[in-house]
Amino acid sequence: MPRSYPPTIHFTGLNTPIGVEWSARNLDVIGEIPAEIEGAFFRAVPDPAHPPKYDDDIALSADGMVAKFTISGGKVDYAIRYVETERYMLEREARHALFGRYRNPFTDDPAVAGKDRTVANTTPVWHAGRLFMTKEDGLGYEVDPDTLETIGRWDYFGALRSRTFTAHPRIDPETGEMFFFGYEADGLCSTKIAYAIADAQGNLVSEQWFDQPYCSTIHDFAITQNYAIFPIFPTTADLDRLKQGGAHWAHQQELESWVGIMPRYGKVEEMRWFKGGPGISAFHIVNAFEDGGRLHLDLCLSDTNAFGFMREAGGVMRDQREIGGGLTRWTFDLSKDADSYEERVVGPPGDMPRLRDADQGRPYRAAWYLSMNPQGGPPLPGGPVGVAFNALIRIEPGNGRIEMMGLEPGMAINEPVHVESTRPDHEGWLLMVVDRRVDENRFESELWVVDAANLNAGPVARVPMPLPMRAQVHGTWVPAAKLEQARSRQQDKAA
Ligand SMILES: [Fe+2]
């Protein structure tokens, strides 16, 4: 029976399903792309291949597409393909949706019982010469960085015991190690967390498990040079609710939050738990770093969960515009026994933070994140929470200095990637997709190149896209030299 897409925020506006795999070479460039930008901007774009089984389905359930801007010699190519997860392939064969509600296998067609439900739609991750498409409810899928063909599920040659892999691993810029975790590591609604390290060559060298205080959604974590930090916010899962066909996540406004901190090469038994206020939530951490005996954690904090469907499942009825919060610094004094920490707001509300790769886990000067432009008019419908950002902020959290690139009314912005400059006195470049409403339900998109230290100047180059683009979640930049290294390693292996 043919079904159309439901007319909700998850399937309209910039979330209107497109589902077209396409590629184009030599896109028009307005302005000039700096010659030092050589590499690939990979993007994770959720886009449902089929209308959902249930009308209350959400954008986060959409099949992952992996997109790639290839930039070389000032020229730009583009390609986008579906990640061929087990779920995508089963539904492609059936020609309709078989999997049910967001992260609830009890709502699936019995024919797919026990099959991999992940849609690999959240973050492209590059480590040790491999590209993975990740979502936190399953393992990552390895994708060929040249062709975007799916290679298969990634479990470190069978070594990883965790059934899940975060969409936010952290890579140490000096050691090349990747620190990561998986929650619900041994199954639905479990409190088990796997904390693991892969070395610079991509081998799994450590995996330890511990319990979190309750089964919460741990979307992101942080590392410093000596510590791993796990914030736990009170959005919880419940197996009985799932069995009744209900929501995976429900936000509990009265429940306390926690932060677990352990030596990053230590044992999970060394974890120290710090207690935080009730009801708060953060999906993304900007950075963390050490400062003598103290540890600072900078995060995009809000006073409730930013996702309407998670709030409502917990009985929290609050409009998206009434969510409070801001870029916040938590400071932990590790030399004392106390289980509390200091808090101060350092910047306006926003999310989707971006850091220079080299600043990961270290004291840093500047970061960038998305926010709302007070002069930008009503936000466009789109993106994971249904309300798109329309400003880019550069902040120096140490002194509070802020610069903003606010978009005009009717525009939206997706998370940028940062490209390092070869000039030591230059802060590099930001690449991002910007959307503009041209008609009630028609949008045009452009790739923008912006000087990371001079947002006010606006884009130095723009690349109009010939076809519409669905809202992106996260992206990653891979310099041409790393792509080439990976290619020659593959060729050596083949020879
Ligand atoms: Fe994320």
Distance CA 61, CA 119 (A): 7
Tally: H helices and E strands in the chain: 4, 33
Distance CA 423, CA 437 (A): 37
For residue 245, give both structure tokens: 């066909």
- Ligand 1 centroid distance, CA of 423 (Å): 30
- Ligand 1 centroid distance, CA of 122 (Å): 7
Please give the average per-residue pLDDT across 261-269, as a whole number. Answer: 98
- Ligand 1 centroid distance, CA of 135 (Å): 9
- Ligand 1 centroid distance, CA of 167 (Å): 6
The pLDDT of residue 440: 84
The pLDDT of residue 321: 82
Residue 318 CA, chain-centre distance (Å), reads 24
The pLDDT of residue 384: 84
- Ligand 1 centroid distance, CA of 74 (Å): 30
- Ligand 1 centroid distance, CA of 491 (Å): 33
Q: Which of 362, 359, 351, 310 is nearest to 328 (CA)?
A: 351
- Ligand 1 centroid distance, CA of 67 (Å): 17
- Ligand 1 centroid distance, CA of 3 (Å): 30
- Ligand 1 centroid distance, CA of 92 (Å): 27
Say whether pLDDT at 3 is over 60.
no
Distance CA 216, CA 197 (A): 22
Say whether pLDDT at 320 is over 90.
no
Distance CA 315, CA 359 (A): 39
**Chain segment 456-475, per-residue pLDDT in tens:** 999 999 999 999 999 999 99
Distance CA 291, CA 318 (A): 38
The pLDDT of residue 11: 94
- Ligand 1 centroid distance, CA of 55 (Å): 24
For residue 428, give both structure tokens: 């590099």
Say whether pLDDT at 494 is over 80.
no
- Ligand 1 centroid distance, CA of 353 (Å): 9
- Ligand 1 centroid distance, CA of 219 (Å): 6
Distance CA 495, CA 492 (A): 5
Q: Which of 313, 405, 309 is nearest to 350 (CA)?
A: 405
Say whether pLDDT at 491 is over 90.
no
* Residue 69: pLDDT band with limits 50, 70, 90: very high
Quick count: other Cβ atoms within 10 Å of Cβ 164? Answer: 25
Residue 121 CA, chain-centre distance (Å), reads 9
For residue 478, give both structure tokens: 């891979």
Model's pTM, two decimal places?
Answer: 0.97
- Percent of the chain predicted with pLDDT > 90: 95
Distance CA 72, CA 171 (A): 25
**Strand pairing partners for 208?**
195
- Ligand 1 centroid distance, CA of 136 (Å): 9
Say whether pLDDT at 323 is over 80.
yes
- Ligand 1 centroid distance, CA of 115 (Å): 24
Residue 89 CA, chain-centre distance (Å), reads 24
Return mean pLDDT, the chain.
96
Say whether pLDDT at 495 is over 80.
no
- Ligand 1 centroid distance, CA of 147 (Å): 25
The pLDDT of residue 356: 98
- Ligand 1 centroid distance, CA of 73 (Å): 31
* Residue 2: pLDDT band with limits 50, 70, 90: very low
- Ligand 1 centroid distance, CA of 124 (Å): 11
* 368 within 8 A of 416, measured Cβ to Cβ: yes
- Ligand 1 centroid distance, CA of 179 (Å): 16
Please give the average per-residue pLDDT across 253-258, as a whole number. Answer: 98
Distance CA 330, CA 276 (A): 10
